[in-house]
Amino acid sequence: MLLLEVLGDNPRPQEKRSKKLTGELIVSRFFAEYRLRIGPYRVLYDIDDQRKKVVLLKLVKRDEQTYN
């Protein structure tokens, strides 16, 4: 199973590769609240608990501009 598919069942994994972001990171008019580390890549996403959805906002290779 792909790591991104796992977010559908458990959007807040308790492992090191997932982290709740601090501060406000806006991606395409949405707030990214979480990041998932997959090797050199980062997935920035938000969770809509009311609608039971995970919203993937950005998938990018990690560099200085990832969180800007």
Domain spans in the chain, listed from the N-terminal domain onward: 3-61
Of residues 66 and 55, more confidence is placed in 55
Q: Record the pTM.
A: 0.74
- 60 pLDDT band, cuts 50/70/90, is confident
For residue 40, give the nearest of 61, 59, 15 by alpha carbon: 61
Q: What is the pLDDT of residue 23?
A: 73
* CATH of region 3-61: 3.30.2310.20
Mean pLDDT of 49-64: 85
Q: How many CB atoms lie within 10 A of CB 49?
A: 7
Q: What is the pLDDT of residue 1?
A: 47
pLDDT in tens, 13-31: 777 777 888 777 777 677 8
